Amino acid sequence: MDQSVRSRVISNALRLGVHPLMDRIPGHAGSIRTARSTVDAASLLMRHTQRVRIHALQDPGVESGEPPVTGEWVVSRDAETAPGDGTAPGAILYLHGGGYVLCSPRTHRPITSRLTLDTGLPVLVPRYRLAPEHPFPAPLEDAVAAYRWLLARGVPSAGIVLAGDSAGGHLAAALAGEICRTGLPSPAGVVLFSPWVDLTCELSAAAEARDPYISARSARRVARLVVGPDGFDDPRVALLACAWTDTPPVLIQVGGAEVLRPEAEALAGALTAAGADCELQVWDGQMHVFQILNRVLPEAGAAMRDAARFIGAVTEPARAGAAA
């Protein structure tokens, strides 16, 4: 598919107006908190489609001993079952992006709303802890708690799809690895939008892509605030060093113009070499997490339909069993 006129206009606007600012954001806690406040304030102005309902989730985790599970459910307004009541044949566990330092479930409603409408599945978006106050593995601990929470409420693992974008894509992949390492029931599949695979940023730094949004230099500054005491050597951080045994089917979508493209390609290669069923889609000319513009860009809408197709295929056995 040739890049649409709308896509070219938006990419050029970001390259001229946003990229220079992103490239110069200092990598220290004060600047991160200022950016976080700005993003959170802007998200209050975003109106989600009236075709979905948003349900707040607040589980203190006292009985289970797990970290608290907070966030929101995003469900179709026509959904017959209530989220978390144990009757749904499946769910999407969505982990939002934002470099592990920014954003929230609210900021990613354009993606989560589209996912629930296209798949018919409820979408759980946990509010995981952010760096630099809570470096890795705190976000992973929260993601594991959310997955366990779904299982404890009767959602079958064969009906659960892990999904995420950018840093949330890294977190979704890390969660898949942690599920395998700890012996938890495997999910049905994993969907990664523009995943931030290599937190050392070595692969992205070597890329020559003219990313209209982010740069390897700015990503590396943020990464230093994200990693915990074990640094980049933490095996839960280093996705390309994972064994990836018994991994469920994976769909990776990445923009052809983004600096993280080599990382997505490297992860797809590692998964395939390990015997996993991995589908890599490179969308020509598209920027980082272009899927969030699915109500504007035709390419983003098509990408979301492909994601829904994948999710429907991997959860079909669980849905068929629930209907029987």
Task: Output the pLDDT for position 137.
Answer: 95
Report mean pLDDT in 10-residue bins for the chain, 324 residues: 73 53 58 82 79 91 74 90 75 96 95 97 97 95 96 95 98 97 97 97 82 80 88 92 94 94 97 97 94 94 98 92 72
Contact, 125 vs 112, CB < 8 A? yes
How many CA atoms lie less than 13 Å away from 293 in the CB half-sphere?
Answer: 17
Task: Output the pLDDT for position 105.
Answer: 96
Q: Where are the domains of the chain?
A: 5-319
Determine whether 96 is an active site residue. Answer: no
- What share of residues in the chain are helix, strand, coil (percent, to 5)? 45, 15, 40
Single out the residue of 212, 236, 223, 215 nearest to residue 293, CA to CA.
212
Structure tokens belonging to residue 77: 């307004």
Length of the chain: 324
Task: Output the pLDDT for position 27.
Answer: 61
Task: Output the pLDDT for position 214.
Answer: 77
Determine whether 108 is an active site residue. Answer: no
Q: Which of 66, 72, 178, 258 is catalytic?
A: 258
Going edge to edge, which strands form the sheet with 160-165?
52-59, 69-76, 123-126, 91-95, 160-165, 189-193, 250-255, 278-283
pLDDT, one tens digit per residue, over 117-169 is 999 999 999 999 999 999 999 999 999 999 999 999 999 999 999 999 999 99
Q: What are phi and psi for residue 45, nearest 5 degrees?
A: -85, -10
pTM more than 0.85: yes
Q: Which of 166, 194, 204, 215 is catalytic?
A: 166
The CATH fold assigned to 5-319 is Rossmann fold (3.40.50)
Q: How far apart are CA 124 and CA 143, in angstroms?
A: 11
End-to-end Cα, the chain, rounded Å: 40
Determine whether 166 is an active site residue. Answer: yes
pLDDT, one tens digit per residue, over 7-19 is 776 666 655 445 4
